[in-house]
Amino acid sequence: MRAPRPVTLFAAATASYTANVALGSAVAARVVDTRRFRWVHHALYVSTSVLAGAAASSLLWSDSRAGWRLLPAALPLTAVSQVSARSRRHPLVALGAAPFFVTSLVRAIQEQHGVS
């Protein structure tokens, strides 16, 4: 079995993070009611964390260096689970990971296209 391309993992991690932020924002704005389906937001959080870990692990098994740009996202991803979802800090902590997902994905795309 061939290892996935790093860019695929960075894209999947960023998509999962984006979906989780979108769902959380929709719930906070009362556009979506997930009281009976809270597990969806939690499942997206776990998916984001696992995919981010897999993408960052590309530092160990590929020539990609994009993982260095994603590693700092571990701090807000870890901290957000300790902040009440009903607090104003929860979305701020969650959004703290956004720049790391974006810059790591951009870097992975550049690497795939041979841009240094």
Global pTM reads: 0.94
pLDDT in tens, 2-14: 778 999 999 999 9
Going from the C-alpha of 30 to that of each of 20, 25, 40, 85, the distances in angstroms are 15, 8, 16, 14
Decide if pLDDT at 36 tops 90.
yes
Across the chain, what does the average pLDDT equal? 95
The token pair at 93 is: 């902590």
Q: What is the average pLDDT across 31-55?
A: 96
